[in-house]
Homo-oligomer: A and B are copies of this chain.
Amino acid sequence: MPFEYLSNTPLDEAVSQYRNELRSQGLTYQVETIETRNALGRMSARAVYAKICAPHYNACAMDGIALISEKTYGATETTPVRLTEEDFTWVDTGDPLPKGCDSVIMIEDLVEDQGSHWIYSPAVPWQNIRQIGEDISAGDMIIPSFTRITPACMGAMLAAGVLRVEVIKKPLVAIIPTGEEIVPPTEDPGEGDVIEFNSTIFAGMLTEWGCNPKIYPIVSDNRGQIQKALQSASQECDAVILIAGSSAGRDDYSAQVIRETGQIVLHGIAIKPGKPAILAYINEPLKNRCVPVIGMPGYPVSGIIVMEMVFKPIIQLLTCQPSEKKPVMDAAVSRRINSSLKNREFIRTRIGWVNGKTVAVPLNRGAGVVSSFVKADGLMDIPQNSEGVEAGGSVKVRLLEEMEIIMKSLVITGSHDPLLDEAADILRREFPEAKVSSSHVGSMGCITALQRGEAHMGGIHLLDEETGTYNIPYLKKYFPKGNVVLIECVQRTQGIMTAKGNPKNIKGFDDIIGKEYVNRQKGSGTRILCDYLIKQNNLDMGKISGYQREEFTHTAVAAAIAAGTADAGLGILSAAKIYDLDFIPIADESYDLLVGQKEFELDIVKKFIEVLKSREFAERLNAMGGYKLNQPGRIIDWT
């Protein structure tokens, strides 16, 4: 397979080059006529004109009587006018105005007295009449071209006799997953199987953009088969996404196949992730049009970025949907971000609004970490030719979440415990608008975040080596002004997790010598506990194999042990239980919540603390195991 050098075209240039080339090849939208009642959310293909007037006749707008207004002239409170049955016609709302009448008097304004009807004020011509065309006159333009059809648009069109409407046809977009290691979604994949979920993500995005996605069966790494799939998709569909496997070699393979069938406009964009995207098209002479073909990198995060940044502007040529631009704002980045000069980088990030400051907490940058897109409130945009940003520096962020929701979110930054997710879920079930945005940066990370005013609260479990007590000694050191509130949360059991049946026969912490250990990141409470235990047991750090291997959560440590790539790791019982590991208890520790003093007054913080006191919280933690609840939610007097 020939090695192909990728171009490093800047993003904006790549998109405009691709769009222009496709346009010059005649790429454009198609039109179809559908029933108006089925047109919700569709885009009008041309201006829509009223066929009839609405109302289409002069209609009485009130229940009452219709008459010629002249008959009422001169009526006043003191000189009422008497009407006889010959003078008027009884009408209901919606009735056609009877011939010869020019006004309607409400029934309430008519006084009946011994068979006569009296009125006390004159009628004005055309009062209480919905004149023909009051709403819409025949021939009026109801909506212009390229307008999203709303419920009211549908109503106005039907009122005006427009029963069918020309709309932009939804483009049919093919999604072809390739790769011999790729398997359809399953609960029980074999080792080396890669679950194919990119097509589902892309189909979802396309649906949101007004397309009809069509997912093709997985094609193995066979050039002929990929070729065949690409040809039939380009004949059948209006655009094609060819998802390469995750290997670099595979991308070249896609490029080769695409080149044999169509034209490559560009291969390689100066963005990260997403660099190896292939921007191409195939001319379909039989259909007399060109079909955009995009070769997608296989990693899901790269794929999502290329979909959003590159493919969406192309799809808009076919859907005529306006480009809703995601708002961009400035935020202070919570830690140093390194970036390469070569690429423009998009980094998924949590966004918090704390104390009037917008803070961006970068998420895992791995191209395979699709969950980061679930957590992300925004995409940090680090320009090409920038080496990155220092902690506290300002970055541009594209919002993926409504700023209104971000401004109301609770920002929790600190030590990880699954109980935070449980509490957040309980809160949300009671107040569906409450969003909790939590980042796992360890207990010391919590202290830093609160010192810098970048979080509302966070979990800490910090063992003081000298006193053997938790948390308070650290607060005295780091918050001498006393401007944080410590909230009791739980006592939890730390211990050594090891494979089911404890095959290495680990009985205490000193047994980790000679075994494969998996550690937690620096600054985490569990790491501090680990170092404390090493000292207490007089162990030689250098002799602990795997001391350098760092994971960020209890469950990640448990997963490594469950997978057999480590023999032991320190963590909490609830994590061990999820992975069905053996657990050797080592220490009980205080896992508490630290809250900024001002933040303590926030409504959402108060609600969160109420959750800690709730029965449901106790029940959920009981089911998870390894927690003791004394007085969760209590303010601990520490100053």
Q: Give the B-binding residues of A (Cβ under 8 A).
A: 36-37, 40-41, 46-47, 51-59, 61, 63, 92-97, 125-126, 130-147, 150-156, 158-159, 161, 163, 179, 181, 185-189, 191-192, 194-195, 197-198, 200-205, 207-208, 245-249, 300, 304, 320, 322-325, 364, 366, 368-374, 402, 404, 418, 421-422, 424-425, 428-429, 432-433, 436, 546, 548-549, 551, 553, 555-556, 558-560, 562-563, 565, 575, 578-579
Q: Is the CB of A195 within 8 A of B141?
A: no
- Does A247 lie within 8 Å of B425, measured CB to CB? no
CB pair A156–B187 under 8 Å, yes or no, is no
Contact for A161 among B188, B198, B246, CB less than 8 A: B188
**How far, in whole Å, are A152 and B143 apart by their CA atoms in the complex?**
35
Set of chain B residues within 8 Å of A52, measured between Cβ atoms: 187-189
Which residues of B sit under 8 angstroms from A562, Cβ to Cβ?
Answer: 132, 138
Which residue of chain B is the closest to A624 with respect to CB atoms? B139
Contact B201 A152 (CB under 8 A): yes
Q: In the bound complex, how far is the Cα of B95 from the Cα of A563, in angstroms? A: 15
| Docked pose: A135 CA to B192 CA in angstroms | 16
Report whether A200 and B154 are in contact in the complex, using a CB–CB cutoff of 8 Å: yes
Are A134 and B369 also in contact (CB < 8 A) when A57-B191, A144-B428, A204-B150 are?
A: yes
CB pair B432–A204 under 8 Å, yes or no, is: no
Copies in the complex: 2
Question: For chain A, what secondary structure do more than half of its interface residues adopt (helix, strand, loop), or is it mixed?
Answer: loop
Contact of A432 among B97, B130, B322, B555 (CB under 8 A): B322
Q: Known interface pairs A137-B553, A429-B146. Does A371 touch B247 (Cβ–Cβ under 8 Å)? A: no
A-B contact pairs, 11 of them (CB 8 A): A37-B185, A52-B187, A94-B246, A125-B549, A131-B565, A132-B565, A134-B364, A138-B559, A141-B422, A150-B204, A159-B197
Cβ-neighbour of A146 out of B185, B428, B436, B558 (below 8 A): B428
Q: Is the CB of B249 within 8 A of A559?
A: no
Question: Once the chains bind, are B556 and A131 in contact (CB under 8 Å)?
Answer: yes
Say yes or no: B189 contacts A145, CB within 8 Å. no
Contacts of A366 in B (CB 8 A): 130, 134-135
- Contact partners of A94 in chain B: CB under 8 A: 179, 181, 192, 194, 245-247
Cβ contact within 8 Å between B368 and A55: yes
Q: How far is the CB of A579 from chain B (nearest CB, A)?
A: 7
Q: Are B53 and A559 in contact (CB under 8 A)?
A: yes
Nearest-neighbour CB distance to chain B for A75, whole angstroms, equals: 17
CA distance A577 to B152 in the complex (A): 28
Known: A161-B186, A185-B163, A248-B93. A141 touches B370 (CB 8 A): no
In the complex, the answer to whether B200 meets A575 with C-beta atoms within 8 Å is no
Contact B556 A151 (CB under 8 A): no
Report the Cα distance A203→B204, complex, angstroms. Answer: 24
Please determine whether B187 and A143 come into contact, CB atoms closer than 8 angstroms.
no
Please indicate the chain B residues that have their CB under 8 angstroms from the CB of A41 in the complex. Answer: 208
Complex interface: chain B residues within 8 A of A249 (CB): 63, 92
Q: A133-B556, A208-B151, A247-B63 are known contacts. Are A192 and B138 too (CB-CB below 8 A)?
A: no
Shortest distance in angstroms between A171's beta carbon and chain B's nearest beta carbon? 16
Kindly list chain B residues whose C-beta atoms are within 8 Å of the C-beta of A402: 324
Cβ–Cβ < 8 Å partners of A202 in chain B: 151
Shortest Cβ gap from A580 to chain B (Å): 10
In the bound complex, CA of A304 to CA of B151 (Å): 9
Question: Once the chains are docked, how many angstroms separate the CA of A502 from the CA of B159?
Answer: 29
The one of B130, B546, B559 in contact with A132, judged by C-beta atoms closer than 8 angstroms, is B559
Q: Are B201 and A151 in contact (CB under 8 A)?
A: yes
